[in-house]
Amino acid sequence: MLLGIILLVCLSYSLPLSMRGNDLLWNTSIETMEQLFTYANFLDLSTTYQQINGSYTFEIIGMSLSITLFLLVFYTYFFPKFKNRTIKKMIDYLEDSESLPVVGVVLSIHWFSVMIYKATSIYLFKTVGTPREPAVVVPLFIVSIYPLIFLIKYMTPYIKDSYQSNYFIFAQSLGYSKFKLFFSYVIPNLFPFLERIIKFIYLEMITVMLFIEIQFNTGGLLTGLRNTQIMPAEFKPQLMVINFLFLLLLPYLIMSILFKLIHVFVVSKISK
């Protein structure tokens, strides 16, 4: 993966000039790899990370993932209390909501906030920010709502199957509490399906964050990545692009490893 990202980025920067020499891509890749693991590069990356407010991207995505997973667990626990008709209506409503464009939702929130402020002089939430004082509430809502809708739609059939399985019904008939079965059977049974989709949820959040950082003027890793397009060639923009891509993919890799470890733990518990 590391070598593939380096070659792809170097190719995108050297392709317009590749007609001048066949060795340009190879030389650019070697030079980039040599500079990538130097102390000067780490120092430049640290400085740039602070200047563009890079932590904002991870903070919003981290909070959004936590909120999304918590609400999914909450929905799963109370799922048996819902009637089939209620679930069907809710899924239909979520499908309609998911079709709404992010741009339209953000502009609607802006308009609603302005109308409330004009009518009552109450400033509900910050809709425009700066890298030093970024907006939080609205971006957090936008980044969380679409993945949550998708997760509920995706996981509902598996949740239903878990509660209607012979194992769950038989265990309840033996007197096991719903709380104990939820954590000992339902969650482990749903985990493989969640593991399969959660990494794509993270990638979806990244795409939404790009729009959020631009629309709300908050700065962030994706803003820094976008600004590399206007960097002069002497500043080695391909090196900074690789740095930003590694930072964005790092949570993805950590999440993959963490979920695999949890999966191994859950499987070992079930086998016992």
Query: Is the model's pLDDT at 67 over the cut of 70?
Result: yes
Sign of the torsion formed by the C-alpha atoms of 3, 32, 26 and 225: positive
Range in 44-58, 161-175, 203-217, 226-240 the model is least confident about: 226-240
Nearest 10 degrees: Cα torsion 203, 208, 212, 218: 0
Question: Would residue 134 be called left, alpha or beta, if left means φ above 0 and alpha means ψ between -120 and 50 degrees?
Answer: beta
Q: Residues with Cβ < 8 Å from 215, sequence gap 6 or more?
A: 106
What SS3 state is found at 82? Answer: coil
Average pLDDT of span 58-87: 90
pLDDT in the model for residue 11: 47
Dump pLDDT digits (tens) for 174-206.
888 888 889 888 888 888 888 888 888 888 888
Dump pLDDT digits (tens) for 87-128.
888 888 888 887 878 777 777 877 787 777 777 776 667 766
Cβ proximity of 198 and 192 under 8 Å = no
Dump pLDDT digits (tens) for 163-182.
999 989 888 888 888 888 89
How many other CB atoms sit within 10 Å of the CB of residue 113? 18
Q: How many whole angstroms separate alpha carbon 196 and alpha carbon 167?
A: 23
pLDDT in the model for residue 127: 67
